[in-house]
Amino acid sequence: MNLVLFVLLLQSFFMPPRLAVENPAAVTPVPQKIKKDFDKMWARFRTGKEDVKVMKDAEKLLKSQIDSEPVLTLEAYIDLYAGRYPDAERKLATVLAHNPQNRIAVSYLAEISFARQDYARASELYSKLLAIDSSRGDVEPKRQKALLLATENLLRNAAKAENENRLTEAESMYREALRIAPAEPVLHGELGELLLREKKWDEAVVQFRRQIQLNGPNDEAQRHLAEALMNLGRTDEARSLLEELRKTGNADDILEAKVKELEDLGRWGADIQEFRRIESSTTLTREQLSAMIVRYFPQVTEFRQTPQIVTDTEASWASLEIQTIVGVGLVDPFLNHTFQPSKKVSREEFAVALARLSRLLGLFANAAPPVPARDLAPRNPLYSDVQLTVALGLMTLDEAGNFNVNGSVSGEEAVNAIERLSDLLRQKTG
C-alpha cells in the first residue's frame, strides 16, 4: 500500500472499543458444529490479549468452514485493530459477496473507503447501509459528506483532465459525478460545455436542457444550448433562444452572426454568392427580390399558383423562383409577358410584394392609426399596401414624412425587411 495512503488511514480510521463491536454471529448464525469454538474465540477477542491465537484458531475453522461469514468477520476485526486495512477489506468484501445484506461488512467497508478517500464508493456503501438498517442515525450525515467529497474530487480531476486536453477522461469523470448527483444542474452544465468541445452536439443539447430544467433558464446555459443547436443545423431553435437573450439585454452578437451565417448557407446553398451580392447592392433587382422571397419563405411554393406566360426568364439564375412568385401573384409580369429580371425594383413594387406576401402568410398589422405619408393620399390604390408594410416595420417613411414610391430599394434594406418579416412569422407560429 502507498505509504501516504497508509498514514491517512491511520489518521482517519478509528475502531470502537472491542466491547462495543457487534458480534458477527448476530448477523449471520454460526453453524452448530463450530458454534462452541466460535464463542470461545469471540470471548478471547474481546479481551484484546490473544489475537494471535484467535487468528490461528480462525484459520483452522475456515479450513472446514470455507468462507464462514462470522469467522471471516472476526478475522477482519483483528486486522482492523492491527492496522492491516487491506487484509480486513479483502475479508469483508468476501463476506459481502456471500451476503449483500451483511450490515457489519457494509459498515466497515464504507468507513475504510471513506478513510482511503474513495468517497464515491463510501457514498454507495453508506446508502446501502441505510437501506439495510434505517435506524442508523449516524449514517446519513456521513453519506452526504461522502457524496459531496466524491463530487468535488471528480470535478477537480475532471477540470484538470480537461485543461490537459484529456477530454475522454474528463467526460468519464463528469458522467461519474452525475451518476452520484444526477439532480445537480452545475454538473450538467460542466458536462455540456465539455461535449461542446468534443463536438458532440446532440449530447450537449441534452445536458444543457437538463441544466435549464433543474435550475431554470440562465444566460450562459441558453447561450451554450443555442450554440449546440446551431451546430446541429437547428437554426430556428437557436435563433429563438438568442432572441430571448436579446430581450434580457444579454445578446451574444458573435453567436448570432454565426447562426445568421448558417441560416444564409441553408437558404442559399450554392447560390450564397448571389446573396452576398444582394446584401451589398445599391439597388435591388426583380430577380433578386424573387429569389429572396422564395429562399426565406419556401412555403410559398405550396400555395396555389396560376400559370403565367413569361418570356424572358430562362437565362436568369433565379428563373425557378421567378416562376413561383409570378404564379402565386406576389410580383406581376409586364403586359408584354416579360419579367425583366435585371430591372430595378421601386419602393412601390417592393411595398406591393411585401404586403401581398404578408397577407399570404397571415400577417396583419394591429388596429393602429394609419401612418400619414405626405406623398400618398388614402385614395391611392397603393395606400393600403404601404400602410401594412410600415405598420409591420418592413418599410419606413423618410424624415420629411414621404414614402417615395418611385425611389429604389438597396440590398441591405431588402434583406432587413425580409428578415423582419421572417421574425414576425416565427413569432406568430412559434
- For 388-424, write each residue's pLDDT tens digit: 999 999 999 999 999 999 999 999 999 999 999 998 9
Predicted local confidence at residue 5, as pLDDT = 45
CA distance 158 to 275: 45
Sequence-separated (6 or more) residues with CB below 8 Å from residue 219: 245, 248, 250
Are the CB atoms for 229 and 241 separated by under 8 Å?
yes
Predicted local confidence at residue 11, as pLDDT = 45
**Domain termination site, one of 117, 150, 166:** 117
The answer as to whether 51 is a domain residue is yes
Task: Locate 383 and state its grid cell.
Answer: 395606400
CA distance 376 to 404: 9
Task: Locate 400 and state its grid cell.
Answer: 420629411
The answer as to whether 144 is a domain residue is no
Predicted TM-score (pTM) of the model is 0.56
The answer as to whether 400 is a domain residue is yes
**Domain termination site, one of 117, 133, 157:** 117
The answer as to whether 168 is a domain residue is no
Closest CA to 393 of 426, 429, 430, 419: 419
**Domain termination site, one of 92, 117, 142:** 117
Predicted local confidence at residue 270, as pLDDT = 84
Which CATH number do you get for residue 52? 1.25.40
Burial of 128 by CB count in 10 Å (0-12 exposed, 13-18 middle, 19+ buried)?
buried
The answer as to whether 252 is a domain residue is no
- Per run of 10 residues, the mean pLDDT along the chain (length 430 residues) is 44 79 92 91 93 93 81 95 92 94 95 88 91 90 87 89 94 90 89 94 94 90 89 84 80 77 80 92 96 94 91 94 95 95 96 96 79 87 92 92 94 95 84
Domain count, the chain: 2
Domain enclosing residue 300, as ranges: 281-429
Sequence-separated (6 or more) residues with CB below 8 Å from residue 186: 211
The answer as to whether 155 is a domain residue is no
Q: How far is CA 351 from CA 50, 75, 328, 425, in A?
A: 103, 93, 16, 17
The answer as to whether 386 is a domain residue is yes
Predicted local confidence at residue 9, as pLDDT = 45
The answer as to whether 164 is a domain residue is no
